[in-house]
Each structure stands twice: as structure tokens, then as C-alpha cells.
């Protein structure tokens, strides 16, 4: 890559290189410590018992047997639980404050015992009786009476006059797209060790937002933030489920307080479905109008969905329709109905992933009615500034992504007409879609510490960032090493601890941009401060090359440290910044059995400076694979009578397996964005999945002539 580096004339070049994960060795040797791996003396085990009804109150609890069961130290229910202040600080999940039940599987008791098995056996002995209320769990019925979302963030967004432009449009599409409830189900289920020393709480807990978790626990337990320490150096995936603080973490801390011992609490896979949020079910009505030449005149993106009963969280499916295409008249709206389910929350590509499924399939459908190549149709409606807010793009590479992707994929060989390509029992089809996700930097502080022994300098960068397994450790080491011009082996990265300088979270694709700019700045500041101290130096003018060992020895220092509070550049807010993606899929559909294989996929991403193509590629691969899961497999099904999920395990909640995945080619287009932030980093955590499901669904149409507007596309739907 010939991109300009942040720093010049370094011998040690790491930024933008394929550096292997520095934490990889710890992961493969099993020495990386995840939350419950920490050796803690005298730890007791907690298991949660859950409600077996979706609405009403707990009218009776018989916990006598559980209390007497071997090894049991404590049984906590709403009757004896310490009073907490959960309101607003937890994303959801009960903390046993009253008898009310809001959803099936709500936490209803915690049993603490000497061993996990004892706690589990005792938890099964607790008998609840309920005063049941009518549960709002039948989505298909409830959605009929959905009302305008009361959330200000989901108020109608109107541009021009949709109805007029739509009714005048030559080519129209009016179709409804449906995506099911989905669950994050990261490899590591949520798990916590909580321990108290006096009034100080320490939790080992996977937290995407370390400081957010600290703040939430402080409020819930009525503490000052400094009294809470959150430790989370490694996280086994989160995807949004570990973004907020949920009841399970508070319950671990509560249990530790009650039994006056450290407590370990790990959710089971089955418990994950009603403990840590979900992606809501969305019914999206799309109306698109275009003129005879393929110019879009009108888009309406109307989403009907559900919330929980105690939160108004609604993901923004319509966002994509506000900014993807140049269209003068648009309407974006949300209707919601409350349901007795765990609160919906952020899930990878929140809003954008299901929203793009609707928009990008609708675009494909309209392209067919225009008899126009769907890429040409998209190019024709490419906006020169962000239609959502009129701001200029800090950079936008949709066109390049589409052009590059269509070359890589061989799009020109695609037959527009469906059912044209056959290979034995299979119908073969190709589809395309684009995706995007906002890019932002958030305030993040960082400390750099240098230690010198002779001519050898070691550096540690410290910040309360988190690593979901995506490579945060590695990119920060790369930046520190190159900026300080040290070998990467001389860099330590200390993150995942709330006692470190406050940092943004690994959420909403802000992590990489926020953390990397802070580390870059603190290392640059190190150099300029050392130069200022050096008797030989003429001052902090960044002469090149840099030699921190020399600078330190000239200043007679063996230790040096400095701190920055990095902030996003002021001008960034006047621009619109997003990461972009073009996805191409080739599917093989067995005409008889309806089984679908995504044989080939191409994803081309424009996401500013790519700090590490290797880890970034993995992110995009993960997005593609999850997108295939979204298109073909994933569906959490509620029993409409009782509100329980019938898809509690991976036996019923399908995600793709190796054999479902064909070739995935990932490429990046060069985007030099000097506006979004100093390093020009945009983030790729979310964008990789946006657009994938639509590309697959469009390919299924191209193969079979069947337009499946309800995900997942399982064989029964093709019968």
C-alpha cells in the first residue's frame, strides 16, 4: 500500500501491515484469561433460576429444598434481595427487586453454592407459583395495532413530498420485508466473577464498554465510579450483547455481597436467549418510485416492530434509506408495539443489517421492473452529498466498491433474467447489494509509559479499551511501535481495565478509530515531550528520524510517561462519515430440495485507513458469514402462546457451519480520509454484515425467480 503513514521515516513499519495478532499465542495456548478464568480464592458459584411465564407476578416461592440442598450458601429472590437502583442503568434483565414478571425467562432467583453443580441442582428445586397476566407475545396479532414510536430518535423523517412523487412515479415497488428475532450468541456466554473489598467492587466481566459497565454498576449499587473496577482484557465476542450492562452482572455482584465471598456467575447457552437482549423482529414496508430513466423519485421505509415492555429501544432500520441514494422525496417511520420479551438491543449492524435487507432487495426488485442492471441503477442514484443531512461526505467509496467488486466477481457474466443458469440439479444465481455504517471517533484518553535499559526501550500503552477478539491489542501495538519507532516486541498493550484512562467502547464501530487515534497521539506526545527535554534537541519540532532511546538517554531518563485526552477533530461533525461495502453473492439452489449454498462471495470495503488488513479482513469475513446466517439460517422463534423461545440451543438456532461457506474474497478500496479523524480510520465492525443478506436474497431470486421477502430463506420457503 502506498498510503501516507501517520509518521514518517520510521524504520519500524507496522501501520497498514498484516501483523499477526499479538494475543494469538495466548488464545491458542489457552492462557488468555476470559472473565471466569481468573483464579480467585474462595470463590462460590451462582446459578440463576428463571421465570417460566411471560407476564404477571410471582405469587409464591418454595425454596426450602434448595436452601437445604448440599453446598448451598444462599438463595436470593425478590423477597430477600438487597435493594438496588437499576432504573435506566441496566439495558434489561431483572435484578430481583419485585415480584413482577416482564418476560419468559426473566431472572427470578439466584442460588449460590460451593460448586457449580450444587448451585445448579438447587436452582432446579425452587418452585415458583405465578399470578399470570395476559402476555403480549403474539407478534403477528400485536403488530396490527402498532403505534407510532414514542422514541424521539424514531420520529418520522420526511423529505419533500413522498406521496405525490410516489404516485407520479413511472416505476413503483410496494413490498413488505420481514426479518425475525435474532440473538447475538457470542462464543463466550456472559460470565462474571464479582468480589467486594469493603465497599469496593471488582468485577471480571466481558464488557464492550469498560467505562460504561463501571458507571452502570456504580449507580446500581449506589457507589462512586472509582469504587468499581471492571477487568476485561479478553472478550469472546459480543456483537452488541456485551455493550450495555445486563441483570446477570449486577446479580453476580449482588450475590457476592450477600454471601460475602467472591462469586462466579456464568449464563448457560440456553439462558442467553432471554438475558442479554436480542435483535427485534422487523416488518418493513418499502415503497420506491423511479422515473423511466431509473432516477429514484421517492422512497418510503416504514418499519413496524416491537419493543420490550420496559424499554423503548428500536433499531433504526430506516437509516439506510435516508442516506444511501439520492432521492428527493422520502419518508421514514417507525411503529412499535410492546411485547413481553427481553429488551431488544444493538446487534451487529444495528438497524443497518435488517434495514439494508429491505432497501437493497427493494432496489433489486425495482431494477428488474426497470429492466436495468442493479449496479447501473445504484450508480445512477449515487448521492454527491449525504441526503439525510445535506453534509458533504468526508469520503465515500460506494462507486469504487461496486466497480472493484463487479470485476472481482465477474458480474458482467451474470444473466439478468432469472433461472438462466443451471448446473445439474442446481439453479445458479448472482446478487449484489451495498451497505454502510457511520464512522465516528469518540473521546479516549491514553497513557504511554517508556522504560529504558541502556539503548533498549520498552513501551506500554494503557487505556480502558476493550478487545472483542477483533484485534484491538494488535492494532494498538502496531501504532505504538511505528510511532515510537520500536520493534513490536517492545510494546505492551494494557487495556480492558477501568482503572486505566477512560476510553470509548468497542461499539458502533467507534473502537478502532477512537483507540488508535488516542494511542497515536500519546506516542507522538511522548516524542515531542522527550524532544523538549533533550538538551541536544532544538525543541518539539518532530525532526526525523526518531530515536526514543537516544532522547531518553540525552535527557538522562530511564522512565518516562505521558497522557493525552484525545478528542475527535472539530470539523468532523460538519461532514458525513461512513464505512461502505459492496457485497456480491453467487448461490446454488437445489431445485428439488430447496437447499441453498452460497458458493462464492465478494466483499469490497471502503473504510478509510486499514490499520491491519489481516485482522480487518477477518472482520469482513465474519460479517459475510453472519450475513449468510441472517439470510439463510438464523431465526429465534417465540411460541405465540407462552412467549418462550423454542430455539434455545444451537440445535434449533442455526448458524452457518463450515460446509455452508464457499469462497469469500475480501478486498479494500483505498480511502484517504483526512477529515474523519487524524489517522483516517473508519472502523469495520458493523459494516461487514450490512448488505450481505440482501445480496444473498437477490441471488436466490436471480437463481430461482422466487422473491423471498421473509428471512431466513429456508428450504420450506422454496417448496
Tell me the window of 158-166, 502-510, 529-537, 593-601 that interacts with other proteins (CB under 8 A): 593-601
| Residue 541 near other proteins by CB under 8 A | no
DSSP run (H or E) holding 527: helix 511-533
Minimum CB distance to other proteins smaller for 488 or for 661 = 661
* Least separation in angstroms between CB 121 and other proteins: 6
CA 619/CA 687 separation, integer angstroms: 9
Comparison of 561 and 714: residue with beta carbon closer to other proteins: 714
Measure the CA–CA gap between 201 and 39, rounded to whole angstroms: 17
558 belongs to the binding site for other proteins (CB under 8 A)? no
Stretch in the footprint of other proteins (CB under 8 A) among 154-162, 163-171, 654-662, 697-705: 654-662
Nearest partner of 467 among 210, 168, 146, judged by Cα: 210
Query: How many helices (H) does the chain have, and how many strands (E)?
Result: 16, 26
CA distance 312 to 345: 10
User: Which residue of 214, 281, 378, 633 would you call a contact of other proteins, by CB under 8 A?
Assistant: 633
Q: Least distance in Å: CB of 359 to other proteins?
A: 26
Contact 639, 53 (CB under 8 A): no
Q: How far apart are the first and last CA of the chain?
A: 49
Q: Does 178 bind other proteins (CB under 8 A)?
A: no
Burial class, 180, CB count within 10 angstroms (exposed 0-12 / middle 13-18 / buried 19+) = buried
Q: Tell me which residue has cell 438491543.
A: 345
Q: 157 or 595, CB closer to other proteins?
A: 595
Comparing CA positions, the residue from 45, 67, 20 lying closest to residue 191 is 45
Q: How far is the CB of 639 from other proteins (least distance, A)?
A: 5
62 interacts with other proteins by CB under 8 A: no
Q: How many residues bind other proteins (CB under 8 A)?
A: 35
Minimum Å gap between C-beta 715 and other proteins is 6
| DSSP per-residue letters across 190-258 | -EEEEEEETTEEEEE---SSHHHHHHHHHHHTT--GGGEEEE-S--S--TTTTTS-BHHHHHHHHHHHH
Report the C-alpha gap between 601 and 604 in whole angstroms: 10
Out of 108, 647, 698, 702, the residue judged to bind other proteins by CB under 8 A: 647
**Rounded least distance, CB 400 to other proteins, Å:** 33
Q: With CA atoms as reference, report the closest residue to 321 among 404, 383, 379.
A: 383
Q: Print the binding letters for residues 347-376 with other proteins: x by CB under 8 A, - otherwise.
A: ------------------------------
In angstroms, give the least distance from the CB of 69 to other proteins: 10
583 within 8 A of 624, measured Cβ to Cβ: yes
From 347-355, 518-526, 592-600, 699-707, give the range in contact with other proteins by CB under 8 A.
592-600
Q: Shortest distance, CB of residue 656 to other proteins, whole angstroms?
A: 6
Q: Does 490 bind other proteins (CB under 8 A)?
A: no
Pick one of 279, 306, 473, 597: the residue that binds other proteins (CB under 8 A): 597
Question: Is residue 114 at the binding interface for other proteins, with CB under 8 A as the rule?
Answer: no
For residue 187, state whether it binds other proteins (rule: CB under 8 A): no
Minimal CA–CA distance to 605: which of 491, 686, 495, 719? 686
| CA–CA separation, 261 and 94 (whole Å) | 22
Tell me whether residue 391 or residue 654 sits nearer to other proteins (CB atom).
Answer: 654
CA distance 122 to 281: 35
Residue 585 CA, chain-centre distance (Å), reads: 23
For other proteins, which stretch binds (CB under 8 A), given 429-437, 549-557, 589-597, 669-677?
589-597
Q: Which is nearer to other proteins, 197 or 716 (CB)?
A: 716
370: enclosing H helix or E strand: helix 352-370
The set of cell numbers assigned to 344 is 431488544
* The one among 145, 538, 556, 658 contacting other proteins by CB under 8 A: 658
Closer CB to other proteins, 660 or 665, in the complex: 660
Contacting range for other proteins; rule: CB under 8 A; set: 116-124, 250-258, 326-334, 489-497: 116-124
Burial of 183 per CB tally in 10 Å (0-12, 13-18, 19+): buried
Q: Are 72 and 122 in contact (CB under 8 A)?
A: yes
Residue pair 599/563 in contact by the 8 Å Cβ criterion: no
Select from 88, 571, 641, 670 the one that contacts other proteins (CB under 8 A): 641
Site for other proteins in 246-285 (CB under 8 A): 270
Distance of closest approach, residue 278 Cβ to other proteins, in angstroms: 17
Q: Which stretch binds other proteins (CB under 8 A): 207-215, 282-290, 298-306, 634-642?
A: 634-642
Q: Is 686 a catalytic residue?
A: yes
What is the x/- site pattern for other proteins, positions 408-437, by CB under 8 A? -----------------x------------
- 277 conformational bin, left if phi > 0, alpha if psi -120 to 50, beta if neither: left
Cα–Cα nearest to 330, from 365, 286, 385? 286
Q: Which is nearer to other proteins, 376 or 425 (CB)?
A: 425
Q: Does 470 bind other proteins (CB under 8 A)?
A: no
Binding site for other proteins (CB under 8 A): 52, 117, 120-121, 124, 270, 425, 592-595, 597, 632-633, 637, 639, 641-642, 644, 646-649, 651-652, 654, 656-660, 714-716, 719
Residues labelled catalytic: 686
Amino acid at each position: 500500500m502506498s498510503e501516507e503513514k501517520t509518521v514518517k521515516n520510521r524504520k519500524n513499519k507496522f501501520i497498514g501491515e498484516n501483523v499477526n495478532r499479538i494475543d494469538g499465542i495466548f488464545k491458542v495456548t489457552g492462557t488468555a484469561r476470559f472473565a471466569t478464568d481468573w483464579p480467585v480464592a474462595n470463590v462460590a458459584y451462582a446459578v440463576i433460576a428463571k421465570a417460566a411465564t411471560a407476564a404477571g407476578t410471582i405469587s409464591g416461592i418454595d425454596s426450602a429444598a434448595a436452601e437445604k440442598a448440599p453446598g448451598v450458601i444462599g438463595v436470593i429472590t425478590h423477597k430477600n434481595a438487597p435493594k438496588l437502583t437499576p432504573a435506566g442503568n441496566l439495558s434489561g434483565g431483572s435484578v430481583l427487586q419485585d415480584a413482577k414478571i416482564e418476560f419468559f425467562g426473566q431472572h427470578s432467583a439466584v442460588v449460590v453454592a460451593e460448586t457449580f453443580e450444587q448451585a445448579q441442582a438447587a436452582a432446579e428445586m425452587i418452585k415458583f407459583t405465578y399470578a399470570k397476566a395476559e402476555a403480549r407475545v403474539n407478534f403477528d396479532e400485536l403488530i396490527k395495532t402498532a403505534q407510532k414510536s414514542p422514541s424521539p430518535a424514531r420520529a418520522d423523517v420526511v423529505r419533500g413530498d413522498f406521496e405525490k412523487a410516489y404516485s407520479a412515479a413511472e416505476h413503483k415497488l410496494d413490498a413488505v420485508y420481514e426479518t425475525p428475532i435474532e440473538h447475538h450468541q457470542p462464543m463466550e456466554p456472559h460470565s462474571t466473577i464479582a468480589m467486594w473489598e469493603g465497599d469496593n467492587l471488582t468485577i471480571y466481566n466481558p464488557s464492550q464498554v469498560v467505562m460504561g459497565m463501571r458507571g452502570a454498576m456504580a449507580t446500581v449499587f449506589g457507589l462512586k465510579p472509582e469504587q468499581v473496577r471492571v477487568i476485561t482484557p479478553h472478550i469472546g465476542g459480543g456483537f452488541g450483547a456485551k455493550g450495555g450492562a445486563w441483570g446477570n452482572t449486577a446479580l453476580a455482584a449482588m450475590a457476592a455481597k450477600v454471601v460475602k465471598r467472591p462469586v462466579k456467575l456464568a449464563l448457560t447457552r440456553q439462558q442467553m436467549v432471554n438475558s442479554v437482549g436480542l435483535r427485534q423482529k422487523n416488518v418493513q414496508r418499502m415503497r420506491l418510485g423511479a422515473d423511466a430513466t431509473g432516477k429514484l423519485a421517492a422512497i418510503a421505509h416504514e418499519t413496524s416492530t416491537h419493543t420490550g415492555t420496559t424499554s423503548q429501544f428500536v433499531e433504526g432500520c430506516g437509516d439506510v434509506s435516508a442516506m444511501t441514494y439520492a432521492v428527493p422525496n422520502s419518508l421514514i417511520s417507525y411503529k412499535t408495539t410492546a411485547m413481553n420479551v427481553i429488551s431488544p438491543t444493538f446487534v451487529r449492524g444495528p438497524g443497518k443489517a435488517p434495514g439494508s435487507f429491505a432497501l437493497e432487495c427493494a432496489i433489486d426488485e425495482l431494477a428488474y421492473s426497470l429492466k436495468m442492471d442493479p449496479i447501473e441503477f445504484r450508480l445512477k442514484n449515487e448521492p454527491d452529498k449525504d441526503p439525510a443531512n445535506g453534509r458533504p461526505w468526508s469520503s465515500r467509496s460506494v462507486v469504487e466498491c461496486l466497480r472493484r467488486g463487479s470485476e472481482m466477481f465477474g458480474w458482467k457474466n451474470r444473466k439478468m433474467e432469472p433461472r438462466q443458469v443451471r448446473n445439474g440439479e442446481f439453479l445458479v444465481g448472482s446478487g449484489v447489494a451495498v451497505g454502510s455504517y457511520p464512522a465516528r471517533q469518540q473521546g479516549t484518553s491514553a497513557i504511554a509509559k517508556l522504560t529504558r535499559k541502556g539503548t533498549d526501550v520498552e513501551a506500554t500503552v494503557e487505556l480502558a479499551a476493550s478487545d472483542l477478539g477483533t484485534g484491538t491489542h494488535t492494532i494498538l501495538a502496531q501504532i505504538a511501535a511505528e510511532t515510537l519507532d520500536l520493534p513490536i516486541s517492545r510494546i505492551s498493550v494494557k487495556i480492558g481495565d477501568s482503572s486505566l484512562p477512560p476510553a470509548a467502547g468497542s461499539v458502533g464501530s467507534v473502537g478502532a478509530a477512537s483507540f488508535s487515534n488516542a494511542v497515536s497521539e500519546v506516542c507522538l506526545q511522548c516524542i515531542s515531550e522527550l524532544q523538549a527535554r533533550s538538551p541536544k534537541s532544538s525543541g518539539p519540532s518532530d525532526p526525523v528520524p526518531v530515536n526514543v532511546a537516544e532522547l531518553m538517554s540525552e535527557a538522562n531518563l530511564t522512565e518516562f510517561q505521558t497522557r493525552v485526552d484525545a478528542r475527535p477533530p472539530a470539523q468532523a461533525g460538519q461532514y458525513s462519515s461512513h464505512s461502505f461495502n459492496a457485497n456480491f453473492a453467487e448461490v446454488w439452489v437445489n431445485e428439488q430440495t430447496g437447499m441453498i449454498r452460497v458458493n462464492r462471495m465478494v466483499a469490497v470495503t471502503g473504510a478509510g485507513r486499514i490499520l491491519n488488513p489481516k485482522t480487518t479482513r477477518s472482520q469482513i469475513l465474519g460479517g459475510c458469514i453472519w450475513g449468510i446466517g441472517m439470510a439463510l439460517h438464523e431465526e429465534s422463534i417465540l411460541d405465540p402462546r407462552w412467549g418462550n423461545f423454542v430455539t434455545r440451543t444451537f440445535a434449533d438456532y442455526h448458524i452457518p457451519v463450515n460446509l455452508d461457506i464457499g469462497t469469500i474474497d475480501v478486498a479494500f478500496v483505498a480511502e484517504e480520509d483526512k477529515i474523519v479523524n487524524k489517522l483516517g480510520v473508519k472502523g469495520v465492525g458493523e459494516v461487514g454484515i450490512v448488505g450481505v443478506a440482501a445480496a444473498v436474497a437477490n441471488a436466490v431470486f436471480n437463481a430461482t425467480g422466487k422473491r423471498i421477502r421473509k428471512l431466513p430463506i429456508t428450504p420450506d420457503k422454496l417448496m
